[in-house]
A and B are shown apart, each in its own frame.
Chain A
Amino acid sequence: MTIAFDTRTGRLRLDQETFDCLVAWASGATEPGPRLTELRDAGAIRNGAPHPAVWPGLQAVTEPVCRLHLASIDDDGQSRSGDGWIASNAAALLLDAPDDMRELVTVHPTFLPMAIARVVRLGPHPRPGSDPLHLPRVVYDGLFAPDQGVRRRAAEQLSAGDAGDPPLGDVVEQLVTGPWRLWAVTLTWTTPQGEPAAQAIQVVATDAGLCLVDTGGQDATMWPTTATRVWRRLTLLLPDEVRAP
């Protein structure tokens, strides 16, 4: 395990245990763990304090206004996740990196939509149509199974009815053959009134287009969408407590 710290960008690559040690130390723990020496050697800690490029992010981790969770899975079953802590002046993202490492990225909260867009690779896609696809949850689960045969059988179930071709046929075919990526971002926080609050977005990206995915009920719905509409949703994710502190 090698810690890598880029003083120019503030990106810090480390494993989860070292990150936990860094956070414990930043929170004032007297025995934060054995990894502090490596963090000092990498330059993430200097003169007894976190490097200025890391410090705002660490403060967000220790005193967040809002928590973020990001998860994605590809058609080959490869999953990736990220955690985030957002305060009024900084947001820290801890993202999965190769070799069981994680990467800590600190940005201003106004950059959070762009940071998410880069992670999920939001970009131009064909327009997939206009009608939503409502489907039973069991069929939905089959469409996103890691096994292509399971996905094919789920797609065949969709078209087996006598109601004609279902909407989003090209997207469904892409779900069977790949490539696709299903990703979700959830923000949670507590309102000034003490109530729990959340914002979430779930999107599937295929070469045939993008869909917003709603799995809130017993059934699932895939709503055809565009990168522009997804971007609008991302710019609205942050709670007012962070937008206007």
Chain B
Amino acid sequence: MDFDDYRHPGTGCVVPLPPGWQRLEDPPPGIAVIAREPEAPAGFRANLVVNVDELPDGLGLDGWQDESDRLLREELPSYYLLDREQIRLAGRPAVRRLAHHAGSDTGPVTMEQWAIAVGSTGFTLTASVATLAYDSLADVFAEIARQFRPGPTSDEEAAR
């Protein structure tokens, strides 16, 4: 699949978006981009969200992600962690997780997440889809994650 690259002007991160997916303008603070599929054959519209967080001093990737696990359990109804692994993404250590949650307004949702820390900035790419449609988009999500580029670090900016 060919993607349409979206470059977030504030952070410089590059998010490959599937053609035809709708990007929401002016997402809330802390979110670089929200995009969702134009139609929802299974009722829930698959979507991508990129969050950008400033990490507290001394909190590395693992600590940040342990805290994310706790928050996800607390905030998402019927949250269940299916998989979690350490990988490399964009040449950096990253955490990938697969989880399931279900709300009365969403139905069962499978959520795949990739988290990268760049300096003191944390980038989280979250892909969500109706659970029975997960297999049809899993490879697309994985390719989006593979092509995702977080913003440059302040050191890299200074070197330009």
User: Residues of A at under 8 Å CB distance from B?
Assistant: 108, 110-111, 113-114, 117-118, 122-124, 127, 226-228, 231-232, 235-236, 238, 243
Contacts and interface: CB of A to CB of B under 8 A. Distances in A.
Given A235-B131, A235-B134, A228 B108 contact: no
B73 to A, nearest CB: 13
Query: From DSSP, what is the main secondary structure of chain A's interface residues?
Result: helix
Interface in B57-89: 78, 80-85
A199 B64 CA distance: 40
B110 A235 contact: yes
Contact of A226 (B83, B134, B135): B83
Which of the four size classes fits the interface of chain B? 20 to 34
Interface of B: 42, 78, 80-85, 98, 100, 102, 107-108, 110, 130-132, 134-135, 138
A238 B100 contact: no
B131 A117 contact: no
B108 A110 contact: yes
A110 B41 CA distance: 13
Contact of B134 (A108, A111, A122, A232): A232
Contacts of B108: 108, 110-111, 113-114
A45 to B, nearest CB: 27
Contacts of A110: 42, 107-108, 130-132
Contacts of B131: 110-111, 113-114, 235
Given A110-B107, A110-B108, A117-B100, A235 B132 contact: yes
B100 A114 contact: yes
B132 A231 contact: no
Contact of A231 (B42, B82, B102): B82
B102 A236 contact: no
Nearest to A231: B82
A122 B81 CA distance: 9
A122 B130 CA distance: 19
Contacts of B84: 124
A206 to B, nearest CB: 16
Contacts of A243: 132
30 contacts: A108-B107, A110-B132, A111-B131, A113-B131, A113-B132, A114-B78, A114-B100, A114-B102, A117-B80, A117-B82, A118-B80, A122-B82, A123-B83, A124-B81, A124-B82, A226-B85, A227-B82, A228-B138, A231-B82, A231-B83, A231-B98, A231-B110, A232-B134, A232-B135, A235-B110, A235-B131, A235-B132, A235-B134, A236-B135, A243-B132
A123 B100 CA distance: 11
